[in-house]
Amino acid sequence: MVILFIFGGLMLVVELMMPGFSIPGIAGIISLIAGIVVGASVLTAGQLAVAILIVFIVIIVMVVLLYRSATRNGRIFKSLFLHSKAVKEEGYTSSKDLHHMVGKEGIATAPLRPSGTGEFDGVKLDVITDGQFIPKGARIKIVNVEGFRILVEQIEDKVS
């Protein structure tokens, strides 16, 4: 009976470490129920209550130890969490650095409502406006670059 309780408790602790509800959780619940049923036929009500209390105290202690191991300086924390960083200083980037394109002039190759495509020195880029509509073929200028966001504005043709 005690073995069923201990096995059930261990399976529930394993279930805490695994995502989702799977075989260890089901086996743990079935084992605990079987332990109660077997214990009820063998032990008196007082003895059964004490046995259940002891098993739950052991489970709580195991969960606390598991929690302490999973937090900041614990073993599980060190093995589960990535501690290195992909920083720009080490050469990691998520997008091309297009800050050198600020001030370049080009042509809208698609209507910008407010986003679309523009061509600058033979390079097509996805661009966005501040909300205004810019028709296809209009002259545009890059005014700001923030990561993937390339902000453009229309260049008014000067009338001579």
- The pLDDT value recorded for residue 3 is 83
Average pLDDT over every residue of 104-113: 95
Cis peptide before 19 (omega within 30 of 0): no
One-letter identity of residue 137:
G
- The pLDDT value recorded for residue 141 is 96
- The pLDDT value recorded for residue 124 is 94
Statement: residue 136 has pLDDT above 60: yes
- The pLDDT value recorded for residue 1 is 72
Statement: residue 110 has pLDDT above 90: yes
Cis peptide before 111 (omega within 30 of 0): no
Statement: residue 58 has pLDDT above 80: no
Sorted by sequence, the CB contacts under 8 Å of residue 133 that are 6+ apart come out as: 111, 112, 113, 114
Q: Tally the C-alpha atoms within 13 A of residue 14's C-alpha that lie toward its C-beta.
A: 14
- The pLDDT value recorded for residue 74 is 65
Top-confidence residue, 108 or 61: 108
- Sorted by where each begins, the domain ranges of the chain are 2-80, 99-154
Domain 99-154 in CATH 2.60.40.10? The answer is no
